[in-house]
Amino acid sequence: MLCNICHKNLATVHFTEIVSDEIVEMHICQDCSKSKKKELIGSVDIFDFIKKENKEKNDSLPKCNICGISYQEFKKNGLLGCARCYSGFRKQLLPLLKKIHSRTWHVGKSHFLDEKQAVAKMTVGKLREQLNRAISLEEYEEASKLRDKIKIIEKDA
């Protein structure tokens, strides 16, 4: 769509105004929007409004309590600021890690174990922790289920 003012450039700014049940649309290019800013906007400065909205959006993004880095900065440069960033940005990082590494926990590398054995070892470790917790809370039915799961995984691995 061409600019309504210069009729040369592609329109990138679009205004829609509703006046007494009539819709008035204006499509203008970037150059004309800069030169006609005061005339187009009148008393409401839409450009400042957009800047304010973007600033508020960036302010609402999570930041690390220790180093102060925002998630937006991490996305920009790919580096976290400190070790606490991992727990601070956990909700955003877990899907990213799953996409990159196909899991969200560290399996490690070992030339003695294949991937299936490594995953089984990690799973058994987690199940043993749950088993110990269930025993300490005297939840013996849950503990017996966890014990059976561990035996099955160890037998298959």
Query: How far apart (Å, rounded) are the C-alpha atoms in residues 99 and 47?
Result: 37
Q: How many domains does the chain have?
A: 3
Residues 150, 119 share a domain: yes
Range of the domain at 78: 61-101
The CA angle 147-132-151, to the nearest 5 degrees, is 20
What confidence score (pLDDT) does residue 149 get? 92
In angstroms, the first-to-last Cα distance of the chain is 63
pTM higher than the cut 0.85: no
Query: How far apart (Å, rounded) are the C-alpha atoms in residues 30 and 34?
Result: 6
Furthest C-alpha separation in the chain: 79
In a domain, 106, yes or no: no
In a domain, 18, yes or no: yes
Residues 85, 65 share a domain: yes
Mean pLDDT by 10 residues, the chain (157 residues): 84 76 79 70 53 54 83 84 86 85 70 70 90 92 93 84
What confidence score (pLDDT) does residue 12 get? 85
What confidence score (pLDDT) does residue 154 get? 86
